[in-house]
Amino acid sequence: MADKKTLVLGATPDSSRYAYLAANRLVRTGHSIVNVGIKTGEVAGVPIEKPEAIHDDIDTITLYVGTRNQEPLYEYILATHPKRIIFNPGTENAELRRKAHERGIETVSACTLVMLATGEY
């Protein structure tokens, strides 16, 4: 499986959260990750960054930030210009989806954990 470098937006060191589980599963299945969030710490051996530095080598952004908290992150997300954005359950956002499509970014409404488990990632 090819490495699809993934930015986990909403990363947290809280092991009960889906973002934590996804980051660890991504690493275990051979994908490199960038953790971005408001929490401090690390997940899967990768520190959590603030949403400031733009990474230009991201294949996928997997969203773990609720819809109502996404608007301040639009420019960060779009400036990263990933190949795709995965809207995990609870993160669906028609406005961000439209903005992404206007920039040629694929969007998927799915669960990253399920995609990894089924080989669809």
Report strand pairing: 106-109 vs 60-63: unpaired
> Average of pLDDT values for 12-18?
97
Q: What is the mean pLDDT of the chain?
A: 97
Q: What is the pLDDT of residue 113?
A: 98
Q: What is the pLDDT of residue 50?
A: 97
- The CATH number that domain 6-118 falls under is 3.40.50.720
Query: Is-contact 69 93, C-beta < 8 A?
Result: no
Distances 106 to 58, 59, 102, 112 between C-alpha atoms, Å: 13, 10, 10, 15
Selection from 40, 38, 5 nearest residue 23 by Cα: 5
- The span from the CA of 111 to the CA of 19, in Å, is 11
Which amino acid type is present at position 3? D
Q: How confident is the model at residue 98 (pLDDT cuts 50, 70, 90)?
A: very high
Q: How confident is the model at residue 1 (pLDDT cuts 50, 70, 90)?
A: low
Could you report the per-residue pLDDT of 44-66, keeping only the tens digit for each? 999 999 999 999 999 999 999 99
CB neighbours of residue 79 within 10 Å: 11
Q: What is the pLDDT of residue 49?
A: 98
pTM: 0.96
Q: How confident is the model at residue 71 (pLDDT cuts 50, 70, 90)?
A: very high
Which sequence spans correspond to the domains of the chain?
6-118
